[in-house]
Amino acid sequence: MFKKLLFLLLILTLTTSCVSKKIYTDLESKYANVKKENRKLADTNRDLNAELIAAENALAKLQQNYDKTLQERNALRSDYEASQSNLNNLKASYDALEKNSSASIAENAKKNRELLAQLEAKEQALAAENARLETLKKELESRSKRVAELENVIASKDAAMTKLKDAISKALTNFEGKGLTVEQRNGKVYVSMENKLLFESGSWAVGSQGRQAVRQLGEVLALNPEIAILIEGHTDNVPYKGNDQLSGNWDLSTKRATAIVNILRENATINPENLTAAGRGEFAPIGSNDTAEGKAKNRRIEVILTPKLDEISKLLKEI
């Protein structure tokens, strides 16, 4: 229509000379109205286009919400169907449990009674074990006390033997370097006197120097009545070739040990019950019998001093 009006206006312009002024004015007025109406329609069209775009956006958003809601509905439906299936299973299980409830209750009661009986037996066993443990604890404490006492006694004995060894060493100082040694080993004191200090070859008679050494030893032993005194005679491996009074080295070693005992018995303070004489012959050498020096060491008297162990033996029996 707008194009038609323009066309008419063009015609009128071309034919102005043929048209009256009134008609021209009317046409101009209509053209202005038409132009105004056209602008109004254009604005309306623009507004409608904007509303269309807004409506399309709203529709797209609504479609998204619809799709999301549809998915949620489908998920809820799946959950519902799963829940319904679980409900059916639970109902079936409940029906089965309800059907067997009496038997289950009876069986559980039996099991409970058995468990209670086992628990009671274990409690009794635990009480017995605790009592046994307490007894063992007391016994251990008692034994520990006796062991401590034993250790104290042994320490006291060792100290006494050390004191005895020092006293003997002091008393026999004059004989040091003359075949006499004093040692302390394993809780005992060993006084070793070579034959050159005591006897002539093949003889069991003690010489004057040896007798003096044994007497001085006896003076110390007389002050220690709680000491057991063992006198051992030793020889080298050379066969005895003396008179017919002796049968050999063993007999000779015994006679020499007895000779030392007899000298010690001259001291009336020494208790004879503490004295023991023994012959070892050549069977306990301390040196090689292949050399003269070794044989000289083997020909000896050993006085072995041991603390009486009655108290220790008693404690050991109590442990």
Task: Give the DSSP letter string of 154-168.
Answer: HHHHHHHHHHHHHHH
Dist CA 257 CA 279 (whole Å): 7
Query: With respect to CATH, is domain 156-318 assigned 3.30.1330.60?
Result: yes
Return the pLDDT at 135. Answer: 82
State both tokens at 4: 């038609």
Q: Residues near 138 by Cβ (< 8 Å), separated by ≥ 6?
A: none
pLDDT single digits (tens) 65-94? 777 777 778 887 777 778 777 778 777 777
Domain ranges of the chain: 156-318
Can you give the pTM of this predicted structure? 0.54
SS (H, E, C) 67-117: HHHHHHHHHHHHHHHHHHHHHHHHHHHHHHHHHCHHHHHHHHHHHHHHHHH
pLDDT single digits (tens) 154-170? 777 788 889 989 989 89
pLDDT band (50, 70, 90) for residue 18: low
Return the pLDDT at 19. Answer: 55
Alpha-carbon separation of residue 227 from 184, 241, 273, 307 (angstroms): 14, 36, 10, 5
